[in-house]
Each structure stands twice: as structure tokens, then as C-alpha cells.
Structure 1
């Protein structure tokens, strides 16, 4: 027998759904805004450190030698990972402001850790990679936010696709086929 307390009017359910949707939208806007600022901090830190590490002749400065050519480079590489573990352990004891500042510190440390990409790759390829990733993330986020479809069954199919791409990439190391490289990239 049904409990009469479980029945609600259609109007109250619609109102509650609208309130939940507005709350979710505000929360997601805050999360995306925080992540965008964090990405900006990482980008500025990476570019700033790499610019200070190389002089106008393309040679490493004292800072560049200390960061990229000494044992300090291993501390810089693994520091973000250690910070993730520390952040995870302390998260429940931190205030919102302290957690936000720790996040921005982590973003700057990630910028320091990945600053060497500016020494290896061209600015065009870095910007191109960033834009493609940002567009893919935005599109997938929008689709995931607006769709009501359950995509949990896609997991095994997508894992097999990733394994296939890895195998094709390894085979293409030996074949050196530009057509296969284009197909893998696509």
C-alpha cells in the first residue's frame, strides 16, 4: 500500500526541480570559473618562469640552470604530486579560503613544473594544443550537462578504442606512415 506522504503536487515538484537546476547552474559556474582562473595562473607561471630561465641568446640563465639542469628539477617535477597528497589529507580541515589559496598555490607550482614545455615546443603548438583541449572540454561539458542519457555503458567500448589507439601508435613507430599518424591524430 502506498504511503500518502510520498505524493506531492506537480507544481511543487516542478518548483523544486527549477530551484535545483538554478543551484546546480550557479555551482557549476563557480567551479568552471575557479578552474579557468587556476588554468590562467598555471599558464602565466609557466610562461613567466620559462621566460626568466632563458636569456635573449637562447642560453639558460642562472635560474634556468638551477631549475632545469640540477637535481632541483626532480623536486619541481614531483612537488605537485606531493601537494596533491597533502591537499587530499588536509582538505576536510581547511576553510574555503585556505583551500582556495592552496589551489592557487598548486596551480602556480604546476606552472613551474611544466614551464619546460616553452623551451621545447613552439608557442603556436602550445596554444593550438590548449585551444583544441579547451574546445573539446567545453563541448563535452555542455553535452554532459544538457543530456539526460546514461553513458555509463560506453566505458568498455571506449577502453577498447584507447587500447587500439595505443597499439596503432606503437606499430606506427616502426612503420612511419604519415597516413596512419593522421588517422591516429584524428
Structure 2
């Protein structure tokens, strides 16, 4: 009995450590993004993102388009690249994402950005805790949520041409629901990985980085969807 209890305790400790490391890296990336966003939102730095005519500069376009390529690079190069390389790409990704997010300060009031960030953080925290503690298997929700993300992307592209405010509102509501669900689903998946993976290996470091990227994307997208719903435009 004691041996079983000891094994259970060791397994639980291993899982908790892995999940804690994932969240620590995710929070580090969010801090980097926040600093970059606030810095490039200042009058002296804004000109590096937005030109005199109100369009995007070269750096502005890079900050918006390159993160997609970096995420694909990390996903497709998971087996090929080292953990250190993937970490560097992730930190670069969080910096460029922060730079692109600086433009929201030109659209929404600072107060509404702050309040929406708080609401998003609270929602994310509740759903992360739910995903970690629930005994319900959320695996079946995964495919539905991924389909939801694909639907949001397609609908958003279509609405770029339609310019429908109603469609914009509906997409935002669905987006909040999808990324709220994904938070719980992804945290449970990360917990399961932490329970199975061998700690201290190169592969575990890579999985930790990819887990942090996944949660980072969940939070950022949840925040942006909520901002579209609740943000007050200047």
C-alpha cells in the first residue's frame, strides 16, 4: 500500500511540475508580449509600426504576418529542431505578437483594454483550473473545438469582404466560447502529457514549449475575441 501511495505521489508531483513549467513559460511569453505592446504603443515607437498615412510599415507587416509562419515552423520542426531553438522561436513569436498587438491601443481605450484583459485572465484561470481538476474526459470536445476554430477563421476572412457588423458580433461570441473551451481541453491534455512523459529529457522540454505556445494562443485569442465584444473604441 505504501509503495502504491509513493508511486502515486511521485507521479502527481511529476505532473504538477510539468504543468507548472508550462504555465511559467506561457506567463513569461505574455509578459514579453505585454512589454512589447505597451512600448510600441508609445508615440515615439508607434511610427515604426504605422506610417504617416496610417498604413502599416514593413515592421508592422512583419509583426502581423510572420507569427503564423513561426507557429508553423515550430509545429513542423518539432522533431527536427532542438528545445533551445524552439524556445528562441517561441520568444521571438511572443515579441512580434506583442508588437502587432500595440495597434489595439490606437483602436480601443486603455481602460477597456485593461478591464477586458482582467476579464480574460479571470475566465482563462477558471477554465484552466476546470481542465486540470475535472474527472471528465474532454478529448471528444477537441475535434469540435478545432472545427470551431477553422470555422471562425473562414468566417472572419469572408467578413473581411462583407463588412457585416452582425457577423462580426456573432464570430466574436462563438470565438469566446471556442477558446474558453479550448483552454480547459488543452490544460487537461497538457496534464495528461505531464503524467506520461519522462521528465528531464529533450522531448519533455520540447513538449513543455509547445504546451506553453498552445496556452498562449488560447489566452491571446480569448482576449482579442472579448475585446471585440466589450472594448470601447476611442
TM range (shorter): 0.5 to 0.7
Aligned match of 2:129: 142
- What are the equivalent positions in structure 2 for 1:88-167 lying under 5 Å apart? 88-151=75-138
Q: For 1:13 and 1:67, locate their aligned partners in 2 and report how far apart those are by CA, in whole Å.
A: 68
Q: Which TM-score applies when normalising by structure 2? A: 0.55
Distance 1:155 1:27, change over 3 A: closer
Aligned to 2:74: 87
Structure-2 change in CA distance of 1:128 and 1:100 (3 Å): same
Which segments of 5 or more consecutive residues in structure 2 lack a partner in the other structure?
152-164, 170-228
Q: 1:22 to 1:68 in 2, by over 3 A?
A: farther
Q: Which has the higher contact order (CA 8 A, sep 6+)?
A: 2
**Measured at CA, do residues 136 and 98 of structure 1 come closer, stay the same or move farther in structure 2, by a change above 3 Å?**
same
Determine if contact 2:40/2:99 at 8 Å carries over to the other structure: yes
The residue correspondences of 1:1-186 to structure 2 (distance < 5 A) are 10-52=1-43, 61=47, 64-65=50-51, 69-70=55-56, 72=58, 73-151=60-138, 170=166
Query: 143-152 or 78-87: which moved more?
Result: 143-152
In the alignment, the residues of structure 2 paired with residue 155 and residue 107 of structure 1 have an alpha-carbon distance, to the nearest angstrom, of 25
Q: Report the Cα offset of residue 82 of structure 1.
A: 1.2
Distance 1:111 1:67 in 2: 22
- Which ranges of 4 or more aligned residues in structure 1 deviate by more than 6 Å? 153-159
Q: Distance in 1 between matches of 2:122 and 2:84?
A: 30
Following TM superposition, by how much is the alpha carbon of 1:11 offset from its aligned partner in structure 2, in angstroms? Answer: 3.1
CA contact (8 A) 1:42 1:108 kept: yes
Please tell me whether Structure 1 or Structure 2 has the larger radius of gyration of its CA atoms: 1
Pair 1:67–1:139, CA change in 2 (3 A): farther
Rate the CA distance shift 1:89–1:53 in 2: closer, same or farther, 3 A.
Answer: farther
Distance 1:88 1:81 in 2: 11
Indicate the larger mover: 32-41 or 138-147.
Answer: 138-147
8 A Cα contact 1:53 1:63, kept in partner: no
Distance change (3 Å), C-alpha of 1:146 and 1:79: same
**SS of 1:114 mapped into structure 2:** helix
Contact 1:52 1:63 in 2 (8 A): no
TM-score in terms of structure 1 length: 0.68
Question: For structure 1, which runs of at least 5 residues remain unmatched after alignment?
Answer: 1-9, 55-59, 164-168, 174-183
Deviations 1:34-77 (A, max 9, x none): 000100101110111121456xxxxx646531795146344432
